[in-house]
Structure 1
Amino acid sequence: MGDGRGGGGGGNRPAWLQQYELVGKIGEGTYGLVFLARTSLRKGCIAIKKFKQSKEGDGVSPTAIREIMLLRETCHENVVKLVNVHINHADMSLYLAFDYAEHDLYEIIRHHREKLNHGINQYTVKSLLWQLLNGLNYLHSNWIIHRDLKPSNILVMGDGEEHGVVKIADFGLARIYQAPLKPLYENGVVVTIWYRAPELLLGAKHYTSAVDMWAVGCIFAELLTLKPLFQGVEVKGTSNPFQLDQLDKIFKVLGHPTPERWPTLVNLPHWQNDQQHIQGHKYENHGLHNFVSVPQKSPAFDLLSRMLEYDPRKRITAAQALEHEYFRMDPLPGRNALVPSQPGEKIVNYPARPVDTTADFEGTVAVQPSQPVSSGNAASGNVAGASVAPPRSMPRPMHVVGMQRMPNTGMPAFNVATQTGVGAPTSGNIPMQRGAAAQAHQQQLRRKDPGLGMQNPGYPQQKRRF
C-alpha cells in the first residue's frame, strides 16, 4: 500500500488487497469494520466494508450474503451500489467495496447542532427527505424493507458530479417481504431503538414497509429539530422487542394509543401482556407540534404526522409522501441537497466523516471485537459506512427505475458461489457481472400497487437544483 500501514509487508497480502492504499477506519459495528482506501483503478476513494467470519466459524456470514444479494439486484440513484466483492480464503472474511460518501445525516445534524448552532435550511431538509423517500419508494415497490433506517445509514455524496445526492446504505437487516406478505418476526429485533416503530416494540407478528416510514418520520423530525424525537433508554441483552422506556417516550409525544386510533392494537402481544405499564398508564396528549419547530397547520407538520401515525395501515407510504403538498411548495427539492437555498447564501462546508488513521487495514485473519456502542445512531448490528454509485459522465435524473421482481430463493447459509448470478470466487475476488435478468430490470416498469401508489415522475414540476 505504500504508506506502511496495515501491518506487514505487501507480499503477504492477497493480490486483490494490494490494489488498495489504506486511509483509515470510518465505521465499526457488530458484523465488522469499514475502511477508507484509495485505488488507482477507480476515480475517488473507496469504502471497504469487512465482514467478520460467521459466529458458527464455518464460513461467510449469512448477513453478508443477504446484503450482497440485495445490493446486486438494486439499481437506483438514491440506493448504494455495490462496486466489488472480495473474499479472503484464509479466514473466509468478506469485503464489500463501495464508492466513498463524505457525509451522512448524523454528521450533518451534529454539525448544525454543535458547531453552527442553527437549523438546517428548508431547501436542504426538503431535498434530503425527498431523495430518501425516492430511494425508499424504489425499495418498497420491489418488496424490500430496509429495517434499519437512521441518520448514520443515510449517506450524502460530497464533491463530484453526485454532490449532494442521498444514498440509502447498510442493508444488513434488509429483507424481501413479497406478496402475500411474508412473516418476518422470526428474524428477531430490528431497527435501532430510537427509530423503531410502535408495532415492533409491541411484538407484532407481521409487519410491513410501514416500519421504514416510521423511521423516516423520526429522521424528518431530527432534521427539523437537530435532536432525536424519541430518545428511549434501551434494555440491552434481550431478544424481546418490548422496550418500555422507548414506548414511554413515544406516548408522551403522541399521546396514548387507543383501539379507536389503532384497531389492531388489541392483538399485539405486549399490549395484551403488559397491562400494568402500558394500558394502566394514561398519557396526556401533549401534541407533536410542541416538540417540532414547524407550525401545526403547515404541510411539513401534516407530512410528519402522517409518517408517525400509530396504525401502520394508515401510515403514509413512500409513494404517497413523494406526492405530498410539502414537496410542491417553494423551495422545491433538488438533486443537490447541499447547495445554498437562496442566491448569495453562504455554502455550509460540512466536515467529512471521521477517519481513524491508526486502524490496521490488514486484519484479514483476525478482526478485533467491536466496541460497545450507544443506542442512538450507533450501529445496531450493522455498519454504515459506504456509499456508492460509480462516477458518470453526466448527472442522472432523479426518477424511479423499475426492477424485475426478485424470486423467493432460500439462500444457502454460507456458500457464496451457489448464489444466483454470483460466480465462484477466483483469486480471492468474487466477480460482479450482472446476468441478463439483472440488466433487463432497468427496462421493466414498476408494478402499480394500489397500496404503494404509482411510479413517481420525478421532482415536483420537474424543477431541479444542480
Structure 2
Amino acid sequence: MAESYTGSTGTVYTVETVLQDKGPPHGRVFLARDGRRPVVLKEIAQVWDLRRDMYARTIDSPHVRKLLDTVPAHKIFVFEYLNEDLLKLTWKKLPSPILRSILKTGLRGLASLHEKDIVHTDVKADNFLVQIALDDDPSKIRLEKVELGDLEDSAPIPNGQSLVGAQLGNDMWRSPEAHAMGPIKTPSDMFSFGIVCLFAMTQVLPFEVDVDKLEPGIEKPVVIMERQLSYFADEDTLEGLLEYLGESNQFVQLFRVLKSGFGDHQPRRPFALWQGLDVENEDAFRDLVVKLTNFDPTKRLTASQALQHEWFRDVRDISST
C-alpha cells in the first residue's frame, strides 16, 4: 500500500517515488499526488518552524517557490512539482532564448528576495526550477514557469547585518567570501548567479573539481579558491575582498598565499579574456559575468542592476504569467 500523508489543509498526499534520500541529517524528498496533480513532499529535519516562517515571508515574492501545504506531524513541506531545473536543461542545450528567459525570470525571483533583505545563500543552477513543455522541434518548446527554490537555508539580514562563521552554499557555486565564512550578504548571491549564467550559456562548470585526481594534501576548497582568483580577481578587487573580510579573518592569509602562486610559470586566466564563448551578444555577456563576479563584494551588480543590464535587454521573461 502506498505511503500517504495528510496536510494541514486536509489534503491527502500519496507518495509515488523517492526523488532524493541523502540520509540523516538530511530529509527525504518525495514525488506524490494530491488526487489531481503531482506535488513534491520535502522532509525538513531541522529548524522546521524557522524554515516554514521563511516561506511565509516570501509568499508574495514573484518567481520564488511557494509553500502549498505542510504536514506538521512529519515535518514535511508540500510544493508544486515542476518538471525540470536549469542544471538538467543546460545539458540538453536548449535554444539560447529559452535559457536567457530562465535566467532573467529567476533573477527576478532573487531580486524580490533581496528587496526583503533576504539572502538565499544557495544560488545554483538546480535551484532554478522550471516547468517546460519539451518538443522534438526546438521552436515548439514552451516555457511555462520559473521559480527560485530551496529557500530552507535563506536568511533575513536586516539593517546591514551579515552572516558569518559558516561556508554556506554549494562549493561549486559559492562566492569567495562564503568560502571565507563571511561576511555573507546579498552580493554573495550575485556572485553565485554569475556562475549560474556562465554555466547555463557555455556548459562550463569553472569550479568543478575531480577529487580523485587531486594530489595528496591538496584540498578541494583550496583548488576552487585558486581558480576564483585566476578567473575573476585582479589586484584591486582582491584587496577589496580582503578589506571586506578584515585582517582577523583566517582566510585572508590563504588568499594572499594563493595569489603569490601566480606568475609566468602559472599565469592567471581572467574570464574577461576568455575567447570562443559562443554566446549570443558575447561582449555584453562577458561584461555581465565580470560585473556579477567582481571579487570585491561591494562592487558587484545588485539583482535590480543586473535586470537592467544590456545582455538581458529585450529578453523575454514570464513575469506576467
Q: Same fold (TM over 0.5)?
A: yes
Equivalences, count = 294
Alpha carbons 1:242, 1:270 under 8 Å: kept? no
SS at match of 1:310: coil
> Is the Cα contact below 8 Å between 2:5 and 2:14 reproduced in 1?
no
- The equivalent position to 2:79 in structure 1, one of 98, 101, 104, is 98
d(CA) in 2 for partners of 1:260, 1:95: 43
Matches within 5 A, 1:106-145: 106-110=87-91, 112=92, 119-145=93-119
Q: Structure 2 matches for 1:259-274, cutoff 5 A?
A: 259=236, 262-266=239-243, 267=246, 269-274=249-254
Greater radius of gyration (CA): 1
Q: Distance in 2 between matches of 1:105 and 1:19?
A: 30
Aligned with 1:73 (options 44, 57, 67): 57
CA distance in 1, matches of 2:5, 2:201: 47
Higher RCO (CA-CA < 8 Å; seq separation 6+): 1
Q: 1:243 to 1:325 in 2, by over 3 A?
A: same
Identical columns (%): 20
Instruction: Please point out which of 282, 288, 294 is paired with 1:309.
Output: 294
Partner of 1:184: 163
State whether residues 5 and 12 of structure 2, in contact with CA within 8 Å, keep that contact through their aligned partners in structure 1.
Answer: no
Higher helix share goes to which structure? 2
Give the letter aligned to residue 80 of structure 1. Answer: R
Structure 1 residues 229 and 293 mapped into 2: Cα distance closer, same or farther (>3 Å)? farther
Q: Is the 8 A contact 2:241 2:295 kept in 1?
A: no
2:270 matched residue in structure 1? 287
Unmatched segments (≥5 aa) in structure 2: 134-141, 213-218
Q: Secondary structure of the residue that 2:67 maps to in structure 1? A: coil
Partners of 1:141 and 1:244 in 2: how far apart?
Answer: 33
State the Cα distance separating 1:214 from its structure 2 match. Answer: 0.6
Residue 249, structure 1, aligned to residue 227, structure 2: yes
Give the Cα–Cα distance (whole angstroms) in 1 for the partners of residues 255 and 145 of structure 2: 46
SS of the aligned residue for 2:14 comes to: strand
Matches of residues 313-462 of structure 1 in structure 2 within 5 Å?
A: 313-329=298-314, 332-335=315-318, 397=320
Q: Which residue of 2 aligns with 1:212?
A: 189
| Offset, 1:315 | 0.5
- The secondary structure found in structure 2 opposite 1:164 is strand
Query: CA–CA distance in 1 between the matches of 2:237 and 2:167?
Result: 27
Structure with the bigger percentage of strand: 2
- CA RMSD in angstroms comes to 2.8
CA offset at residue 263 of structure 1?
A: 2.6
Deviations 1:350-407 (A, max 9, x none): xxxxxxxxxxxxxxxxxxxxxxxxxxxxxxxxxxxxxxxxxxxxxx716xxxxxxxxx
SS class of match (1:263): helix
Aligned partner of 2:2 in structure 1 is 5
| Contact preservation (8 Å) 1:102, 1:156 | yes
- Tell me, yes or no, if structure 1 residue 47 matches structure 2 residue 47: no
Q: Partner of 2:70 in structure 1?
A: 85
Q: Deviation per CA, 1:193-242: give whole Å up to 9, x if none.
A: 011101222343x231001001111110111112312224679xxxxx99
- Separation in 2 of the partners of 1:310 and 1:127? 26
Counterpart for residue 180 of structure 2: 202
CA contact (8 A) 1:203 1:242 kept: no
Instruction: Using the TM superposition, name which of 312-321 and 16-25 deviates more.
Output: 16-25
Flag the 1:293–1:86 CA change in 2: closer, same or farther, 3 A. same
1:253 Cα deviation after fit? 2.3
> What residue ranges of structure 1 are gaps of 5+ in the alignment?
7-12, 53-60, 113-118, 236-240, 336-395, 399-466
SS of residue matched to 1:184: coil
